[in-house]
Structure 1
């Protein structure tokens, strides 16, 4: 069959989704609408992974990781905060935050200062060098975002953002 992918490369993504969809329905694991939700999760996961890989490559060229950019972006937007707040707001583990902060601090992009009111509290802040360099990262990321979502009209982008926000902000679903 000339239209099939070589076995070593596996099926194309569209074919994979169709196969998974059909198998889920045929095995009576889910109804067709349940398989549609599986398609949605597969598509969101693929997009998340592709966006992450693309953003990582953009920011590595600027001298930091995608996680480093997200942390610097939070500090730029909100101001100094504790590492645990960075962890909560970025959705990263405290161990990841600690590792990334060590690298950013070593490179002079962030600094950690003891709070004057509570010496046990350490606040992380963006340095002047970090803030200056971050602006290039923000511009580069904005351009990548524009290119990724150019396939959607502004109204479609707004609706997609609104719908994703509804799902993301719900409490954990219960059975």
Structure 2
């Protein structure tokens, strides 16, 4: 569609600030954020807007989502899109930032890490199980069972490694922020 455009993400754990700035620049060109998309964002054609975007990580029950959004609306931030525990808001430039101090930003990333830790642990267990099954039961990868086992093991690794890298990025960010807060 000519009214929709895809914008890739560098991975929010790695390039959150860069992504939010790039989304703001796209809005100035008339492409506003509509929703999350696989490995990026879906933008829609609109009138050019001067907005800033901000991301919050918070696990909110569906029935509590409007109350959660109302808290941000009170601060001048409009909800744009949500996916799982990730929520992007927009506001006019100059609006007071969602996170104004290091301690609250640190809590934001701790919330993100908590959920990601569970996902990473599950993917690790699944990957380890695949390796164990292959080691104990699959002697030959030429038969149907071997080929299927190999494919499942490869998919498990393909899911686990990015999850582990993302978790590690959050962990490094959290440790740096905590260290910076101690030295303030």
Normalising by the smaller structure, the TM-score range is under 0.3
> When you count helix as a share of all residues, which structure comes out higher?
1
Higher RCO (C-alpha 8 Å, min separation 6): 2
| TM-score, with length taken from structure 2 | 0.26
Please state which structure has a larger fraction of its residues in strand: 2
TM, length-normalised to structure 1: 0.27
